[in-house]
Structure 1
């Protein structure tokens, strides 16, 4: 029996609302091409949208390791890691990840989002206190909500506010959660200062280094190493998390830290206990990727040059426009446009010129801060970056809104 005026009938109108606000998203079918190029809906495009920061996703050694893993272990893992899914390949990867980030122990998960959304509730719960940067990734936010701990949200990178919140909290167990490299702005958290606050207030610091692992620090060991906080100086007050589908070029995630802390997560994290383990062929590929990350420094050196080339090239382009290039030294380079429709128009202008740069809109970013999220990779060449700069210069000349003239004072 069909109910009159069912709420299920509202979805077409709600989708139309997304269209009016320029917030409807669209998937595109892609096939990898050489270098940083993709075939997108039948069109070959130069892509500045991938988080494959070191260009390892298509590396022949990583592919060969995945194929060898499939031959040795099959395609699936068959069960949860707590049953029969913890293969020798996955176990070896955990040991190598722990050694790589110079922490006592690591735990390998099938996906990054599932990792954060589950380890946070495993660490704190009702009656505990959780402190979250306002620009944290959605998986950390969801984990915080699922935990039922009291959530204290502090303005982005406002450590004075965080310090006051920590000091005022009566909770015995306190957890500070933050991106290490913020995914939409590309800036790096002040990890030494965060760790000092956690030491002072008996808190645990959970770092999501999805966009720093493989790129920052000596040999790409991540944000902790970037600040000289890995190895002997690593604190038991820090739990390090990183994804393996970005700079590592494969899939999955891991957490690393004090042995007892990781053991607790193994016992209590629902997405680890109740989900089928990542296939061992992926662990095999990741072990090859980890070797390349550690030994091929030229990839990070080249990426650093591409970042500098883009920033230097865009400075004259942005003069006379309202666009702003975010203060980022990482592979994530946000070009703030402002209105949703204008960001989409710039994205379309780039597409017409054979470039794919995604327009990021609310709720991923705040209202009025729609942007192009330019993701650079070691797979990009100087000519690729120059092509993007020239295309943006053409679009800026034709479409970008001029900055408003300053108001003239009236006597």
Structure 2
């Protein structure tokens, strides 16, 4: 029968405890989530600063931008957001995307769209980079070279052996599934040493790290910086920051940007408002740091083997996918909402509970989480 593989693959996924399902969320914030009429403590949100509950009053005439940015969809709120980000992060130019996935994948594809150039080009990617970066690299015309996670020696050996004229090193600022940080300063030095460019996806660092909350790259400027608005800003969309020449190039060749309806004026205005609040969110960032330290201290007391992360992402690797899913379901019975992260999102035999902390969490919430983990494990 035609397309019988669909049913077969679904059966296989379910048998391996890897079948994904959507949950209809009725309400959600940095601290709580409500599903099917029941409220849970939310330890699965990327709302690191608890902005989701903050009220925003915005006066915008149009909800939608109505067309591509290159037709007539580029409007004043978009321009203001781009200019403010350039001012804060020290870049010449910027362009907005409707999602971080679109930004990451499309930038890599567009940069190496010329096959004659791509023949002498290579993308060097950390093995734990986000799927959007991997997909962008695979679908570009350049060679893609992987290096071991945060392994500078391995990366340097790859750079030394490469005969490519155009080299691009790509990494995340904070890795979404492990919670550890890239050695960005060292990556910058390697890039300069080997005449390469550096691209950083700082989805999980922006808003949280740095003295002003401007992320992993607050004091170090990679050639290409991607930030997203759906995490610490509790908004939606993403932005590429680079030189004016680079943005002009993207305007010619980035198909996702050229052929997508532009970000809405409403979303751009809301994001700009959140951005200004983020700059004054030192107390929230301090509270988040306290919550992270408290969680790790309690976990250590109870011998919970957390990964080495000092960020809001605190993974607990259990290994087996079926076991991890079972523990996540037991936690729900106790009123704690945690996501079981399973392959192929993470490597096989590294299924995990991905704990994400927010400044909105209280000490009692974190204690309940740890007590529940101990009981369920």
Q: Which interval holds the TM-score relative to the shorter structure?
A: over 0.9
Corresponding residue number in structure 1 for 2:182: 189
1:400 alignment partner in structure 2: none
**What corresponds to 1:198 in structure 2?**
191
Compute the displacement of 1:35 (Å). Answer: 5.7
1:171 aligns with 2:159: no
- Measured at CA, do residues 152 and 35 of structure 1 come closer, stay the same or move farther in structure 2, by a change above 3 Å? closer
Q: Is the 8 A contact 1:248 1:289 kept in 2?
A: yes
1:139 deviation in Å? 0.2
Q: Secondary structure at the match of 2:73?
A: coil
Distance (whole Å) between structure 2 residues aligned to residue 375 and residue 88 of structure 1: 35
Q: Check the 8 A contact 1:331/1:377 in 2, yes or no.
A: yes
Equivalent residue of 2:324, what SS?
A: helix
Alpha-carbon contact 1:324-1:337 (below 8 Å) kept: no
Are residue 107 (structure 1) and residue 95 (structure 2) matched? Answer: yes
Matches within 5 A, 1:107-256: 107-125=95-113, 126-127=118-119, 128-225=121-218, 228-229=219-220, 234=221, 238-256=223-241
- The verdict on how the C-alpha distance between 1:33 and 1:205 changes in structure 2, with shifts beyond 3 A counting, is closer
Contact 1:317–1:392 (8 Å) recurs in 2 = no
Single out whichever of 129-138 and 252-261 deviates more from structure 2.
252-261
Contact 1:332-1:376 within 8 A present in 2 as well: yes
2:213/2:279 contact within 8 Å kept: yes
What's the offset of the Cα at 1:58?
Answer: 2.5
* Distance in 2 of aligned mates of 1:239 and 1:89: 23
> What pairs with 1:330-349 in structure 2 (closer than 5 Å)?
330-349=311-330
In the alignment, which residue of structure 2 is the partner of 1:404? Answer: none
Cα displacement string for residues 245-294 of structure 1 (whole angstroms, at most 9, x for unaligned residues):
11111100001122222222222211111100011100110111001100
Match of 2:75 among 68, 87, 94: 87
Which sections of structure 2, spanning at least 5 residues, go unmatched? Answer: none
Deviation at 1:118, TM superposition (A): 0.5
Q: Kindly report which structure 2 residues correspond to 1:255-266, keeping only aligned pairs within 5 A, or say none.
A: 255-266=240-251
Describe the SS at the equivalent of 1:334. strand
Among candidates 34, 43, 46, match of residue 39 of structure 1: 34
* TM-score, structure 2 as length reference: 0.96
**CA distance in 2: counterparts of 1:317 and 1:82, whole angstroms:** 56
- 1:335, CA displacement in angstroms? 0.6
Distance 1:35 1:244, change over 3 A: closer
The whole-number CA distance in structure 2 between the counterparts of 1:340 and 1:49 is 17
2-structure distance, mates of 1:64, 1:368: 47
